[in-house]
Structure 1
Amino acid sequence: MHMLRWMIAAVAIAGPAARAWSDEPEAARAKAPTKTKNVILVISDGLRWQEVFGGAELSLISKKDGGVSDVDGLNRTFGQATPAERREALLPFITNVVAKQGRLFGDVGSESKVTNGMNFSYPGYNEVFAGYGDPRIDSNDDFPNPNVTVFEWLNNKDAFRDKVAAFGSWNRFTAILNRERSKLKIVACWEPPTGPNLTPQEKLLGDVIANTHRLWSDCAYDSFTFFAAHEHLKRERPRVMFVGFGETDEFAHAGQYDHYLRSANKFDQYVKTLWETVQSLPEYRDQTTIILTADHGRGDAPVDWKSHGAKVKGAERIWIGVLGPDTPPSDGKPLPKADQNQIAATIAALVGEDYNAFQPKAGPVIPTVIAPVAVAE
């Protein structure tokens, strides 16, 4: 006689000895079969947890503290009466889809943090990609990352070779992902789409990039990054992809809260489009997980929201969102701790690989992201 059982022992057993599936060691689920075959990691540089969970901060919709040029107009767009309304106005997809159909970590009571202690970009991206903080990486200087990232590690496996790609607004991604050693497909900053079989849209994008005035020399506009990544996704169908946006960090450092909010809102729209695209393609539909996060946090209003770093209180606080076929919808209960160093192992586990076996220094798989799988006995 056949019967269904949970792979995580005792979940289906009633009684005091039963263990909740979320208490089972995450290493066990790292090896469990998953529905996910593809993962897209999307980062909005320096996007604060405060806006992700509470929407626009009203005290910053001002000329004095937020550098806002049109206070009334920004209030009409993002300054609704309650935090819930402001959150939905600013990040509707993250609020209504990711947080409800997936998991959103980092709110008060389930804080997500950077563990490298430096709280700025290169150390943060290394921690996300490699799974641990490295004291040797203590600046944003342009030097090749000595650490093998989860993307490089996957790309060296037959099932993923040449099916891993990265697109980012910041020029440092070529160093952080060590393009020369890793041989990863990387398009960063003002680089145009390259390679054979480019679509007309990609060729046009290359022309537009070449003829666009550049506000920042080391960071491209997020729209260019998004459209390059989106076209590559549709054309090449990678199994693992990173997309990194930079405008939220640039505008926050400049003290321009209006531009920061609008860039955050665009980020939400880009994520929505990526999700709708993968759900429209047979190779990706119900087989793809999207992970969202930031490389570091920022301080509090009225002054420190512009800044981050080891000396800025609260800059270690981040947020992490996960949406996909293996991640159960939020049940409204407090979520377990999920930190930056756990993202690399989680990416690997979702596609059936055990990154912790390769890199023991990496944090474990994020609890509750991969639900137990029912199999026939």
Structure 2
Amino acid sequence: MVKDYWADTPQTRREKLMPFFWNTINTKGQLYGNLRKGNVVTLANPYWFSYPGYSEMLVGYVDLSRDSNDRENNPNVTILEYIHNQPGFHGKVAAFCSWDVFDFIINENRSGVQVNSGVEPFKDKYNRPKIRLLNEIMYQIPIPWKSVRYDAITHHYAMDYLDQHKPKLLYIAYDETDEYAHEGKYDQYLMATNRLDKYVAELWNWTQKNNQYKNKTTILITTDHGRGHKTIDAWRNHGSSVAGAEHVWMAVLGPDTPSRGEISDGEPMTSSQIAATIGAFLGFGYSNEKPVGPVMHSMFYDTK
């Protein structure tokens, strides 16, 4: 572990842990949320845990009734559902998620969006060997969590879907870092983070080798909540009682985004702005039943 990730400075350590994030996104894209640089990104919701965080992110406003992680269908329309219902996008939106509550956050039954989450086999109408194998592996490898599968399964389902179905909007939600953090397994937390960096690198590199996606694809990365940072053990937890858990971050890479690296100072942002920003990247002025957070224009060239 020390050999793999340790170095004398935080800057070198972070590059060893997440080389794609710091050597590619940081040089060709933008990173938001470094408090030490005076850049603030927070949740707008007061709860600071998963369902409310994901709902805010995908809907674009805070619904105070989304105050638990219960498996309840989200009454609010997400940006995924909105895009799915636009001309030319029907059936071209998909979500692959390690946590099984996403069926409800996205409201799969109402939205019509293809959602595969938790310990759920992917139903491939062609019954291809690769998908059969992934389905078998998911059930055969012991999973230590009741509602979460390993991120590797989620990632390979998503990559296969990208290759076979060519979606125009693909949402991927990984989870292992949160599980290992709650358990206080810092070594596993670091290794899961490193794997995520490799997943994102694979995803980006694949798009840049495919003519349909090359120079036409934006990757926007963020998180549903932060973690505590006031005491040594607080990183294991989050929620409204944990100082610092409202702070999150964002990373963006794509042809519409100027290369600015880590953003210093600037206007504070919230997760409620993500939905409208996704809409803008796809050429839509996203709106909903309630006012949504504004587009983050700093992620776009001035001509956008």
Q: TM-score, normalised by structure 2?
A: 0.95
Give the deviation of 1:217 after TM superposition.
Answer: 1.2
Which residue pairs with 1:342 in the alignment? 273
Give the corresponding residue for 1:90. Answer: 17
User: Could you tell me which residue of structure 1 aligns to residue 242 of structure 2?
Assistant: 312
Identity over aligned pairs, percent? 38
Shift of 1:367: 2.8
**CA contact 2:208–2:215 (8 Å) conserved in 1:** yes
Give SS of 1:318's match.
coil
Structure 2 vs 1, CA of residues 313 and 188 (structure 1 numbering), >3 Å: closer, same or farther?
A: same
> Number of aligned pairs?
300
Distance 1:333 1:148, change over 3 A: closer
CA contact (8 A) 2:96 2:116 kept: yes
Paired residues for 1:132-143 under 5 Å = 132-143=61-72
- Contact 1:129/1:344, CA 8 A, preserved across alignment: yes
Q: Is the 8 A contact 1:297 1:317 kept in 2?
A: yes
1:193 and 2:122 equivalent? yes
What is the CA–CA distance in structure 1 between the aligned matches of 2:99 and 2:121, rounded to whole Å?
A: 13
Instruction: Report the 3-state secondary structure (helix = DSSP H, G, I; strand = E; otherwise coil) of the residue aligned with 2:91.
Output: coil
The answer to whether residue 285 in structure 2 is matched with residue 354 in structure 1 is: yes
Instruction: Indicate the residue corresponding to 1:244 in structure 2.
Output: 173
Q: Which of 297, 300, 303 matches 1:370? A: 300
Say if 1:320 and 1:338, in contact at 8 Å, map to a contact too.
Answer: no
Conserved in 2, the CA contact under 8 Å of 1:105 and 1:335?
Answer: no
* Structure 2 counterpart of 1:47: none
Cα distance change on mapping 1:223 and 1:331 into 2, 3 Å: closer
Distance 2:86 2:189 in 1: 39
- Contact residue 30 and residue 261 of structure 2 kept, 8 A: no
Deviation at 1:331, TM superposition (A): 6.3
Pick the aligned partner of 1:106 from 17, 23, 33.
Answer: 33
**What SS does the corresponding residue of 2:220 show, helix, strand or coil?**
strand
CA shift in 2, pair 1:88/1:278, >3 Å = same
Regions of 4+ moved over 4 Å: none
Code of the residue aligned with 2:292 in structure 1: it is A
Structure 2 gaps of 5+ residues are none
1:296 and 2:217 are equivalent in the alignment: no
Closer, same or farther: CA 335–102 of 1 in aligned 2, 3 Å: farther
Structure 2 CA distance for partners of 1:333 and 1:264, relative to 1, 3 Å = closer
Report the equivalent of 1:81: 8
Conservation of the 8 A alpha-carbon contact between 1:298 and 1:312: yes
Q: How far is the alpha carbon of 1:194 from its aligned partner? A: 1.1
Which has the bigger relative contact order, CA under 8 A and spacing at least 6? 1
State the shift of 1:100 in Å.
1.5
CA distance in 2, matches of 1:245, 1:173: 11
Counterpart of 1:305, as a letter, is W
Q: TM-score, normalised by structure 1?
A: 0.77
Correspondence for 1:254:
183
